[in-house]
Structure 1
Amino acid sequence: MMTDLTGKFFWYELMTSDPEAALAFYGDVVGWTSQPFGGERTDDPYHVVSGSAGPLGGIMAIPAEARTCGMTPWWGGYVGSADVDADAARLSAAGGAVKRPAEDIPGVGRFAVMADPGGAIFMLLKGSSPDGMEAPAGMPLGHVSWHELYSGDFDKDLAFYGAQFGWAKGEAMDMGEMGLYQLVSQTGGTDFPDMTGGIMPLPKEMPTPLWLFYFTVGDIDAAVERVTAAGGTVLNGPMAVPGGAWIIQATDPQGAMFALVGSKGDA
């Protein structure tokens, strides 16, 4: 049975200033394999990256027009949509914003670039194939196992994702001066194993609201060594989180922010 991806993050994309360097970095750090999509645009290819359970995203150069507008390297996430045009209109009416109107990507599907009420960017995508993608079970190596929103408007964003995508709220953890960390589930369950992410107020150290994606690795200390050896920068961690996992937040050599989740003492 194919997974219903509507309202859920399912594809992750790095736009970067140096795709080849980024491929090498994440290959070292996360263990991804890659291949050019379709083998067509050889002058400016889209590289599909795969973890242990199959493809999960892509790496590409920042488009010239976006670079001209000041775009810097960043990770974006695609949310499944049954009707991109209708969803873009609905989300805009609910307090979001359309950053790039719906258009087709030949051989891929239809997409739009959106912002939530607090200003964090995400994309909508309806694939051109009637088949969905299987969501990998558990925490397979290399895949995204946690989605974290640094929210520009905590209350509005929390209401927005719940009402528009059907996400459920789990436990809310008090972080003191940093506010609440609200656990959310894209699948509608409210117990801890069902949680797929968290929403927290934008920390004062961060310049803009954004979605941060956690890629699964094995031993977190070994992953930290790989990050620094490959030219990345660890911003925070390793720190323990509920459930026994350990996390870090980091930037890659081109400056895109990402995160890793792993364990202690496992090779």
Structure 2
Amino acid sequence: MSNTEYPIINSASGGVGGIVDLKMMPNGGEGIPPHFMGYISVNDVDATCGLVKENGGKILMGPENIPHVGRFAVIEDPQGRQVTAFRSAEPDRAEVERPMVGAFCWDQLNTNDLAGSIAFYTAAFGYGTESFGTDDTITTLTSGGKQRGSIMAAPQGVPTHWFTYIVMPTSVPESRDRAMRLGSTIHLEEVVVPNVGRFAAIADPTGAVAGIFEPASR
């Protein structure tokens, strides 16, 4: 796949993502709306695919190799949401205490089946769990002694979906206004999370939704 077919998204810390034409997906991407899809680093993609199927998930693509990059498989969880299991050909990047500007810093699955989603991701990917304070609608996923993401009960009437957060170089109001000038739609003006930061939810011009995040301290 050439860089023309798969443009890389770069930040100050290097490549942080890529852009895929949905027509390259199985069945030409029919029925798949524009969205951000996270990658989960695993020790063995093929073994993970086995666990995915054992626990009610599906394999949509792969497993297959990308020369000099690694091995991957696109999976679908029992709620119909997609994520990529990935094993890099190179060692994973060193972890940082605070994500840099431009990084995708957090992923949250908002689900219609909280218990079922927690059971799937812990069984298929080996995550541990932590409670989120006294809020029993959110569970934090952990591995290697670190927090990796979260699973939250979706509001009534909202379909299960992944929501990713991007660290912005400017304040939420500034980032939100710039996104609007570039053709984005604002879904959520601003939410403050004490001692963490604040974010807004936007949809880019294609309809892909993400959170623009301003840390409490930089």
Which band: TM-score by shorter chain? 0.7 to 0.9
Counterpart residue identity of residue 242, structure 1: P
> Per the alignment, in what secondary structure is the counterpart of residue 169 of structure 1?
strand
Q: Cα offset for 1:261?
A: 1.0
| Larger mean Cα displacement after TM superposition, 213-222 or 96-105 | 96-105
- Rounded to whole Å, the distance in 1 between the matches of 2:64 and 2:138 is 35
Kindly report the root-mean-square deviation, in angstroms, between the aligned alpha carbons of the 2 structures: 2.5
- Rounded to whole Å, the distance in 2 between the matches of 1:83 and 1:263 is 34
Q: Cα offset for 1:130?
A: 3.9
Q: Cα offset for 1:66?
A: 4.4
Q: Aligned match of 1:181 in 127, 130, 138?
A: 138
TM normalised by structure 2 equals: 0.86
Q: Cα offset for 1:77?
A: 1.0
Partner residue in 2 for 1:110: 71
Per the alignment, do residues 162 and 264 of structure 1 end up closer, same or farther by CA in structure 2, a change over 3 Å counting? closer
Q: Cα offset for 1:232?
A: 0.3
Query: Mind listing any 5+ residue stretches in structure 1 that lack a counterpart?
Result: 1-39, 190-194
> Per the alignment, in what secondary structure is the counterpart of residue 97 of structure 2?
coil
> Per the alignment, in what secondary structure is the counterpart of residue 70 of structure 1?
coil
Q: How does 1:1-267 map to 2 (within 5 A)?
A: 41=2, 44-64=4-24, 66-67=27-28, 69-127=30-88, 129-172=89-132, 180-189=137-146, 195-207=147-159, 209-217=160-168, 218-263=170-215
> Per the alignment, in what secondary structure is the counterpart of residue 38 of structure 2?
strand
- Rounded to whole Å, the distance in 2 between the matches of 1:164 and 1:188 is 18
User: Is contact 1:119–1:152 with CA below 8 Å preserved after alignment?
Assistant: no
Counterpart residue identity of residue 50, structure 2: A
Q: Cα offset for 1:233?
A: 0.9
> Per the alignment, in what secondary structure is the counterpart of residue 119 of structure 2?
helix
Q: Percent identity?
A: 25
Query: Mind listing any 5+ residue stretches in structure 2 that lack a counterpart?
Result: none
Q: Cα offset for 1:235?
A: 0.6
Per the alignment, do residues 99 and 153 of structure 1 end up closer, same or farther by CA in structure 2, a change over 3 Å counting? farther
Q: Cα offset for 1:174?
A: 6.3
User: Is contact 2:104–2:165 with CA below 8 Å preserved after alignment?
Assistant: yes
User: Is contact 1:81–1:125 with CA below 8 Å preserved after alignment?
Assistant: yes
> Per the alignment, in what secondary structure is the counterpart of residue 134 of structure 1?
coil
User: Is contact 1:219–1:265 with CA below 8 Å preserved after alignment?
Assistant: no
Counterpart residue identity of residue 99, structure 2: M
Counterpart residue identity of residue 210, structure 1: H
Q: Cα offset for 1:172?
A: 3.3
| Larger mean Cα displacement after TM superposition, 49-58 or 224-233 | 49-58
User: Is contact 2:107–2:163 with CA below 8 Å preserved after alignment?
Assistant: yes
Q: Cα offset for 1:265?
A: 10
- Rounded to whole Å, the distance in 2 between the matches of 1:197 and 1:159 is 15
Q: Cα offset for 1:119?
A: 2.2
Q: Tell me how many residue pairs correspond in the alignment.
A: 216
User: Is contact 1:220–1:263 with CA below 8 Å preserved after alignment?
Assistant: no
- Rounded to whole Å, the distance in 2 between the matches of 1:224 and 1:235 is 10
